[in-house]
Amino acid sequence: MEKEVYCIEGLDIEIEKRSDEDAGRRMTAYMFRAIREQTGMNRKDFAEWLGIPYRTMQEWELGRRVMPDYVLRLIAYKVANERSKSEQFKKDNATSDHDEESKESTTK
């Protein structure tokens, strides 16, 4: 089956291409699930982190309710932004650890 890659706020999501009447709703549901899975969180934790009722998030992810496109983009933006912050924090700590080791070796 043919696949398409979508980039939502810097997150790449690969989806199988389908052609039926519910394809749009299922695609949005699949993208939402893919975004959640990229965080490594389960549904409950993701719902709490976003401040969205669990049941609403579950209905979106299962494709039972239609999620507005802007909400999907905002969630993807938050996930990408938090990932970027986390990577920068790890990078800064690695640099500061290296600087402390250098200071210790020069003072000995």
Mean pLDDT of the chain: 82
- E runs forming strands in 10-104: 11-16
Q: Is residue 9 in a domain?
A: yes
pLDDT tens digits, 65-99: 988 999 999 999 999 999 888 777 777 777 666 55
Task: Give me the domain span that covers residue 55.
Answer: 3-79
Task: Please give the Cα distance from 85 to 89 (Å, whole number).
Answer: 6
And the tokens for 25? Answer: 């709703």
Task: Please give the Cα distance from 4 to 18 (Å, whole number).
Answer: 10
Q: Is residue 14 in a domain?
A: yes
Q: Is residue 108 in a domain?
A: no
Q: How many domains does the chain have?
A: 1
Question: CB-side exposure of 6: number of CA atoms within 13 Å?
Answer: 16
> Where is pLDDT greater, at 17 or 26?
26
Q: Is residue 92 in a domain?
A: no
Mean pLDDT of 23-31: 85
pLDDT value of position 1: 62
Task: Please give the Cα distance from 108 to 98 (Å, whole number).
Answer: 16
Q: Is residue 104 in a domain?
A: no
Q: Is residue 89 in a domain?
A: no
Q: Is residue 106 in a domain?
A: no
CATH code (residue 29):
1.10.260.40
pLDDT at 34 over 80: yes
Q: Is residue 34 in a domain?
A: yes
> What's the pTM?
0.66
Lowest mean pLDDT among 34-48, 55-69, 79-93: 79-93
